[in-house]
Each structure stands twice: as C-alpha cells, then as structure tokens.
C-alpha cells in the first residue's frame, strides 16, 4: 500500500523529537576508539566509555530547525513562493550577506514575485523604516523580509550547507483591516460560521505567543497594497 509522508507530518515528528530532547537529558559522546560495532551490551558500552574524549549535554539552544543555504546571487532565477506548491529544494528565498548589505549580518528574504522568471540583479536592502518589510527591487523582484542571522549564527552551521531558522523569531502582522486584526488578536468574536472555520485553521497553524497583529490605516498601507495587487495580478 502506497503511503505519503507529508512535510507537515515530518515537521510534527521533528517537533516531538525536539520536545523530547529538551525535556529529557541527552548527551553527545566522542570517543577515540578505532573500530566500534555498537551493541546493547555492558562490554560494548564499557569499550566506548573507556576511550571517551569528551561529552556534551544537548541543550535547547543547540537544536534548530534548518533550511538549505541559498545565497542571493546575481543571475539567479528565484522561484515565487506559493503556499499550495511543493517547494522542497526550490530557491524561493535568498540570503543577503554582509557583502550585499550595510547591516553586517545575514538576512533572509522570501521571493513573492520574480518578474516573469527574470535574472536577479538587485539585492533587497533592509530598511527598518519599511513598515511592511516588502521590497520591490530594480530588477522587478518583490521580496518579503523574514529574519536575520548574526555572523556567529551563520558560521556555526554554514559549513554543512544549511542555516538555522530563528526559533525565537516573532511575526508582526500589519493589516489595514481593523476587523481582522481585532478578531485574530482575540479581542473581537468571529460571528460568521464560515469565517469561524477559517479563523480556527489560522489559530491552529501557529504558536499564538509568537504572532501579534497591528492595525495600519489604509492610507498608510497603499504602497504595500499596490505591490500585493501586482503579485496577485501576475497570476501567482
């Protein structure tokens, strides 16, 4: 019988494993034994421990969800993000490093529009004054800023070809719909039955402690709204 192990299932299993690592005591041992055929026996364990070089307790800060490292590069065609598509091994995001920005760190951007599969030529440049953190670059790409990594965080894992997802990253959702902001913040009730189903799905999709909502007057959101409309009109 054919079976499908979905990405969400794999993620849930990984979360359970991480929770177990955090809750219980796990140690990483490095031994100088030349050849080792592990067996669940007292002798096997003794041979390993007699030549132990060091051991380290695994703590929560050692554990991260990881994604492949895709540096932002001139001439690269990035894939538009699509929440209905399987984007495994697809370059739908890029990491802008110190050589391409003025912040001295590494910043991860998600591609919302690739200008009909154009070659990338202009990296997004972080601006803290950008309320929605959506950037339209000179090459026609549209990017959404996701999170940052310090040089230390980046160099700790990059040799493996991966980068960590910031486990403490929070999401601030800025919207010009006062109704949706108040409903998602839990201050107003969702009354319509169909909207109740959608709200339930939305609440179940994230940790509410890591997501907050902020209302922005419509006149202050016109630029981001225009970019989003262009993305939708492109058929994404």
pLDDT digits (tens, 9 = 90+) for 157-215: 887 899 998 766 777 788 888 888 898 888 898 888 888 888 888 777 667 777 888 88
Is residue 233 predicted with pLDDT exceeding 80? no
SS (H, E, C) 61-76: HHCCCEEECCECCCCC
Instruction: Pull the structure tokens for residue 226.
Output: 């225009």
Q: DSSP letter at 170?
A: -
Q: What percent of the chain has pLDDT over 70?
A: 90
Q: How many CB atoms lie within 10 A of CB 95?
A: 23
Burial of residue 6 (CB within 10 Å: 0-12, 13-18, 19+) is exposed
Cβ–Cβ < 8 Å for 134, 143: yes
Which is it for strands 142-149 and 162-164: parallel, antiparallel or unpaired? unpaired
Measured between alpha carbons, how far is residue 229 from residues 69, 120, 177, 233 in Å?
30, 21, 16, 6
Q: Where are the domains of the chain?
A: 24-62, 66-164, 177-215
Cα distance between residue 86 and residue 59, in whole Å: 32
Q: What is the pLDDT of residues 9-23, one digit of tens each?
A: 777 888 888 888 878
Instruction: Pull the structure tokens for residue 177.
Output: 């719909």
């Amino acid at each position: 019988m054919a079976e499908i192990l979905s990405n969400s299932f794999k993620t849930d299993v990984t979360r359970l494993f991480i929770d177990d690592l955090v809750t219980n005591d796990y140690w990483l041992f490095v031994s100088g034994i030349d050849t080792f055929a592990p067996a669940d026996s007292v002798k096997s364990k003794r041979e390993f421990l007699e030549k132990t070089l060091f051991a380290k307790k695994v703590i929560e800060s050692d554990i991260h969800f990881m994604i492949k490292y895709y540096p932002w590069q001139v001439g690269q065609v990035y894939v538009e993000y699509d929440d209905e598509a399987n984007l495994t091994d697809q370059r739908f995001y890029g990491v802008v490093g110190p050589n391409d920005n003025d912040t001295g760190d590494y910043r991860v951007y998600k591609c919302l529009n690739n200008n009909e599969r154009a070659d990338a030529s202009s990296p997004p440049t972080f601006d803290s004054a950008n309320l929605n953190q959506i950037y339209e670059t000179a090459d026609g790409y549209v990017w959404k800023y996701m999170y940052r990594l310090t040089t230390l965080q980046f160099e700790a894992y990059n040799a493996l070809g991966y980068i960590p997802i910031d486990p403490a990253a929070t999401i601030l959702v800025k919207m010009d719909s006062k109704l949706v902001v108040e409903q998602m913040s839990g201050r107003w009730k969702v009354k319509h039955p169909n909207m109740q189903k959608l709200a339930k799905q939305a609440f179940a999709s994230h940790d509410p402690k890591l997501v907050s909502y902020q209302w922005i007057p419509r006149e202050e959101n016109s630029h981001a709204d225009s970019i989003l409309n262009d993305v939708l009109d492109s058929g994404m």
